[in-house]
Structure 1
Amino acid sequence: MLAHPQNSSRNDADDTQRREENLTMWSVNSEAMPLGDLLVRTASRTPDRIAIALPGEEHTYAELLNESILIARGLLSLGIERGDHVGIVAPNSYEFVAALFGTALVGAVSVPLSVRSTPRELAYVIPHAELKVIFATDLIRSHADSVQRIADAFPGLSDSDASKPLHLASAPHLQHVVMLQGEDRPGTIGRVAFAKLADQSSSDAVNIARSRVRIRDAGLVLYTSGTTSNPKGCLLSHENITRGTFARPGAAFSAEEFTEPMVMWCAPPLFHSAAIQGLLFCIHLGGTFLTDVHLDGDRALALARKYRANSLWGMFMAAMRSLMDAEGFDPAEFSHVHSMMSVGTPADLMELQSVFPQALLVNGLGMTEVTGWFALSDRADTPEQRARTQGKPVTGAEIRVIDPETGEDRPDNTPGELLIRTYTVMLGYFHDEEKTREAIDENGWLHTGDLVSRTPTGHLIFEGRIKDMLKVGGENVPTTEIEVFLCEHPDVLIAEVVGIPDARLDEVPVAFVQLSRGSMATADDLIAYCKGELASFKTPRAIFFKEETDWPMSSTKISKVALRVEAREHQVSSTRP
């Protein structure tokens, strides 16, 4: 029906407002591509821009693409095919990023592992992940010799002929360990030899392999500690990895409004889903990614100064504090910083906002099973909301907060278990159908095990974890893993692990132990037993002894709630003058 003439101006105004609202609503596109295509696209657009910089080195997008293609050619020469699993045991580095993309270019699946993994941990993960090739470096050999740890996990490696596929009984799928940097080691293929192998395959062969990768193919397996003693491998598709990475941070940060290329300082290790998401978001924007082989405040400050970092992705307050506590740090030098991402206590985040008042602080909730962030601060959030809530579910994420006992939905402001259903939920746990069924129900809801409450405005507030899990410096640490290991000591009868607050790592583990009758083991003995077998951040900071009648009990089991209170009392008494 035609509008009356007297209403035409009002209708025009309504149409204009509607068009503007639609443009805002539809400004974030749902884009997905194979991981290798991301680097190819950005390198073709900005070949001479610096892609990645570390202290003392920088590399352009063209250089990164060329190195990634060389690695891909080497993998093809070693017989790696689409769907094969390739491990990356390296610190944050140019080599790590090139290996990630080189693996993706041939359609293989990257499995990044922590350089802090102990031989015990590697002995489980490497065969479980069915790794055919492992990439390693000597970049932090004096601090964490990952190649030696692999050799300790599989003693036959050092005696093997590197020119032939490996035959290790305890790792039957593993064929080669390749050094992307550093000295040749026994049983490994050195950098020079690997480059010669790459000459046996062409760039055309890599391009053909790249063209065969499907969006729903697996692209990553990220291992995350669960509530059992062994970690679980989250199988993530190329859609999981790229579609979520492009859309979610872009919505929170309003990337379209950036007036200059992003220069992102990112602190966490790249085997962590949050750091990988930061890396890929930065490359998607054609930005420069700043990182380091290990976290050091003074080095981070110098790097951020040199490249004028305008987005700070500390992710965790421990990393942000390392930067702010560095000698010579002056907030005035960083008045150009437009955004930052971190989680922490409300007091921590309010302090962070006061140091960088002009920057948009993004808080959030994430987990490896959802390929990173699933809730982020909204653009319209106030500083108070950014500090005290973990934001709102991102577009495309369905959220339920339920009573974990009854499955009924909880009302606002009432803690319950968080359930998520979205396109970034993992394909499943690798080689663990039972745990996959436990985690993802028949209707596609991922049961996170996290306790959250939802405000009337739709913001989420993290309330804790249903099952015991510590968060040490941003890393999930299951108390069960430490308890099981302690109980393997011949003198330990019972072990219970809880967390206590820590200024640097947010929380750290301590253990309560009941010794076998007649044992004379000391706290120092048990801590020494853990060192070298458990990663340093999993090693208990203190051991407290219990007699059989001393344990605080709930109706049927030892009360960890009471143990946490007791641990904090020990902590307070030990700090009194």
Structure 2
Amino acid sequence: MSNDAIAEGDVPLPAARPPIPVTLADVLLRSREAWPQATALVLPDARYTYDDLARRAWATARSLAGMGVKPGDHVGLLFPNSAEFVTTLFGIAMLGAVAVPINTRYRAWELGFLVKDADLSCIVTYDGTRDYVDFATLLEEAFPELASQRQPGQLALDAAPLLRAVVMLGETERPWLTGPAAFAAAASACDNRQLTVWCEGVPIRSIAAIVYTSGTTSQPRGALLSQESLVRSWVMAGRRWGLRQSDSFWNPCQMFHIAGIGPLVFTLAHGAAFVTATHFEAGQALDQIDREKPTILYPTYPPLTMDLLTHPKFAATDTSHARAWLNVAPPDTLRRMQAAIPHASLITLYGSTEGGCVTMLSPEEDLETRMTTGGLPLPGNQVRVVSAETGEPAPPGIIGEIQYRGYNAFVGYYKDPEKTRATLGDDGWVRTGDMGDFDAAGRLTFRGRLKDMLKVGGENVAPAELEQYLESHPAVKLAQVFGIPDDRLVEVPVACIELHDGMVVGAEEIIAFCKGRISSFKVPRHVKVVTAWPMSLTKIQRGKLREQFITEMDEARGA
């Protein structure tokens, strides 16, 4: 058959699409060139165009470069959702440095670990949420050495030897902080020509961000995300949504999470408006939805969604402009959610920090498909389900471990080759530790976790990390943590502890030991003192502990 005959056939060619941005900096720069005056970011008290964000991001890049930050350096972002987070993120990207978002719910113990583990050379933060958390004070708690530092921009800390500067974009003053005036003045030392070369020359496989995620090790691990894995994979997710330049995307998830930063990337790449707030409160969120009338809603996690749907304001909130929304929940829960906003197609997905959006439904798919599966892999993502016994691919309908590979996959865990080898094979397949199966059409359904990981209101909690902290209490000899079901948060942590001989401590004291020192979602909701552990040959049977605890709770309720 001739080429002419092929070209004249009835098989349609793929539709032309706008090119996918190559780097994180490209996302904002391309959209600024295409839609400079279009609304890019909406907060409850402010709106920003693409031109606004791009100019602020470039000013941030100049200031960072003037302070000595270079391509490849690691820069921490300690912000809630804000224009400052967005412009700092893209400023770091324009410089070719590596963004390290920091969970604003961290307390001193966790923050101190991340700053050192991530080899941060600079942290950028601000004080716009001092009513909720004072980041300057939190940093001093994590690094007491800061109080004696008198040369901002030239810090010398034994506990974090690479950290040279903490930039405060606000009014808070400390001798060790670089304030907004000094930060702006640093731009005068920037070589603008060199900065442009750096911006235009960022390699597609270079690291764009290190996003920390709790694992089964004793501390969170930093997932290394390349420019391609962060940008291309999430832009493809935006395409699966059918995102348009005229859309507005409401997302209450914090930007330091992949559920915040990923949708931010694809929203801005499509020239749409990203609608968010510094923190989530259901009544205020409904006011924002009513006022902004977003076309896509992204509450994502059942605790947030149910807070919205059960709030007294919900019935009067105008959601008529929403054409699609997303939640990650079991089918029965999804059906209840869909019934609450029936005109907007509810979809779900399967993904992770390490792989972004792996599979996802389209709003155009039928109701039953959307309620019962996690959708098809995004273009370029390979997904398989393998037998836990044989390691061979499982046929449709057979549950096994979910694995994926492709441009979406992370590069590895920072400074943790052992865990990288355990998760990322030489053949590129990412072993998730999650269970799932395919239907006959190739759609994936998540069936649970092989890992011990807890999911508390959408936040990952590693039992080993919490156990390590509990065992730092002088009375605690050994701790074991597991999850029990919770109507609002899906799971909550429970701690069983063995005490050192002669020590006496109550549950209230252990819980008080946790509050304010670790993230609130990690604080055990129940603590039980044990004197004997259920054991297999060599290990404590965590599952047996959980069964015993749930039985005791049920019996107590029935008493």
Distance 2:183 2:488 in 1: 40
**Residue 415 (str. 1) matches residue 399 (str. 2):** yes
Q: Deviations over 1:34-93 (max 9, x none)?
A: 111211111122222221111111111111111111111100110111111100011111
Query: Counterpart of 2:68 in 1: which secondary structure?
Result: coil
**For residue 133 of structure 1, what is the aligned residue in structure 2?**
122
5 Å-filtered alignment, 1:491-502, equals 491-502=475-486
Selected match of 1:430 from 410, 414, 418: 414
Q: 1:327 deviation in Å?
A: 3.4
Q: Rate the CA distance shift 1:28–1:414 in 2: closer, same or farther, 3 A.
A: farther
Q: 1:326 deviation in Å?
A: 3.5
Distance 2:305 2:115 in 1: 32
**For residue 392 of structure 1, what is the aligned residue in structure 2?**
376
**For residue 217 of structure 2, what is the aligned residue in structure 1?**
228
Distance 1:89 1:457 in 2: 43
Distance 2:34 2:525 in 1: 50
Distance 2:77 2:105 in 1: 13
**Residue 243 (str. 1) matches residue 232 (str. 2):** yes
Query: Counterpart of 2:379 in 1: which secondary structure?
Result: coil
Selected match of 1:514 from 491, 498, 504: 498
Q: Note if contact 1:112-1:271 (Cα within 8 Å) is conserved in structure 2.
A: yes
**For residue 566 of structure 1, what is the aligned residue in structure 2?**
548
Identity percentage of aligned residues: 35
Q: Note if contact 1:225-1:232 (Cα within 8 Å) is conserved in structure 2.
A: yes
Letter in 2 for 1:565: E
Q: 1:559 deviation in Å?
A: 2.4
Selected match of 2:34 from 39, 45, 54: 45
**For residue 426 of structure 2, what is the aligned residue in structure 1?**
442
Query: Counterpart of 2:354 in 1: which secondary structure?
Result: helix
Selected match of 1:80 from 50, 55, 69: 69
Selected match of 2:321 from 324, 331, 336: 336
**For residue 361 of structure 2, what is the aligned residue in structure 1?**
377
5 Å-filtered alignment, 1:446-465, equals 446-465=430-449
**For residue 266 of structure 1, what is the aligned residue in structure 2?**
251
**For residue 525 of structure 2, what is the aligned residue in structure 1?**
541
Distance 1:94 1:164 in 2: 23
Q: Note if contact 1:30-1:243 (Cα within 8 Å) is conserved in structure 2.
A: no
**Residue 557 (str. 1) matches residue 539 (str. 2):** yes
**For residue 346 of structure 1, what is the aligned residue in structure 2?**
331
**For residue 101 of structure 1, what is the aligned residue in structure 2?**
90
Q: 1:211 deviation in Å?
A: 1.1
Letter in 2 for 1:490: P
Q: Deviations over 1:306-335 (max 9, x none)?
A: 221111011212222233333322377212
Query: Counterpart of 2:169 in 1: which secondary structure?
Result: strand
Q: Deviations over 1:212-234 (max 9, x none)?
A: 21111111010111101111111
Unaligned 5+ runs, structure 1 = 3-10
Letter in 2 for 1:430: Y
**For residue 117 of structure 1, what is the aligned residue in structure 2?**
106
Q: Note if contact 1:95-1:181 (Cα within 8 Å) is conserved in structure 2.
A: no
Q: Rate the CA distance shift 1:574–1:422 in 2: closer, same or farther, 3 A.
A: farther
**For residue 156 of structure 1, what is the aligned residue in structure 2?**
145
Q: Deviations over 1:82-139 (max 9, x none)?
A: 1111000111111000100010011011000111111111221111111111011112
Letter in 1 for 2:76: G
5 Å-filtered alignment, 1:173-192, equals 173-192=162-181
Q: Rate the CA distance shift 1:164–1:241 in 2: closer, same or farther, 3 A.
A: closer
Q: Deviations over 1:147-188 (max 9, x none)?
A: 222111111112212444111111111000001234223311
Q: What is the TM-score when the length of structure 2 is the normalising length?
A: 0.94
Distance 2:406 2:260 in 1: 21
Q: 1:571 deviation in Å?
A: 4.6
Q: Deviations over 1:223-280 (max 9, x none)?
A: 11110111111111111111111112312x223xx4x611111011111112111101
Query: Counterpart of 1:142 in 2: which secondary structure?
Result: coil
Distance 1:30 1:464 in 2: 36
Distance 1:552 1:435 in 2: 28
Q: Note if contact 1:401-1:419 (Cα within 8 Å) is conserved in structure 2.
A: yes
**For residue 468 of structure 1, what is the aligned residue in structure 2?**
452
Distance 1:182 1:353 in 2: 45
**Residue 167 (str. 1) matches residue 156 (str. 2):** yes
Selected match of 1:92 from 78, 81, 105: 81
Distance 1:533 1:125 in 2: 15
Q: Note if contact 2:99-2:210 (Cα within 8 Å) is conserved in structure 1.
A: yes
5 Å-filtered alignment, 1:180-219, equals 180-201=169-190, 204-219=193-208
**Residue 297 (str. 1) matches residue 282 (str. 2):** yes
Q: Deviations over 1:416-469 (max 9, x none)?
A: 211111111111111222222221112111111112222233222222222210
Deviating more after overlay: 471-480 vs 386-395: 386-395
Q: Rate the CA distance shift 1:202–1:181 in 2: closer, same or farther, 3 A.
A: farther
Letter in 1 for 2:391: G
Distance 2:63 2:55 in 1: 12
Distance 1:146 1:51 in 2: 27
Deviating more after overlay: 385-394 vs 239-248: 385-394
Distance 1:303 1:475 in 2: 24
Distance 2:487 2:282 in 1: 16
Letter in 2 for 1:330: A
Q: What is the TM-score when the length of structure 1 is the normalising length?
A: 0.91
Query: Counterpart of 2:313 in 1: which secondary structure?
Result: coil
Q: Rate the CA distance shift 1:383–1:571 in 2: closer, same or farther, 3 A.
A: farther
Q: Rate the CA distance shift 1:208–1:575 in 2: closer, same or farther, 3 A.
A: farther
**Aligned pair count?**
556
Q: Rate the CA distance shift 1:144–1:308 in 2: closer, same or farther, 3 A.
A: same
Q: 1:202 deviation in Å?
A: 6.0
Distance 1:74 1:423 in 2: 32
Query: Counterpart of 2:185 in 1: which secondary structure?
Result: helix
Distance 1:566 1:387 in 2: 33
Query: Counterpart of 1:319 in 2: which secondary structure?
Result: helix
Q: Note if contact 1:30-1:247 (Cα within 8 Å) is conserved in structure 2.
A: no
Q: Note if contact 1:51-1:59 (Cα within 8 Å) is conserved in structure 2.
A: yes
**For residue 468 of structure 2, what is the aligned residue in structure 1?**
484
Deviating more after overlay: 487-496 vs 468-477: 487-496
Distance 1:209 1:180 in 2: 24
Distance 1:89 1:574 in 2: 43
5 Å-filtered alignment, 1:24-39, equals 31-39=20-28
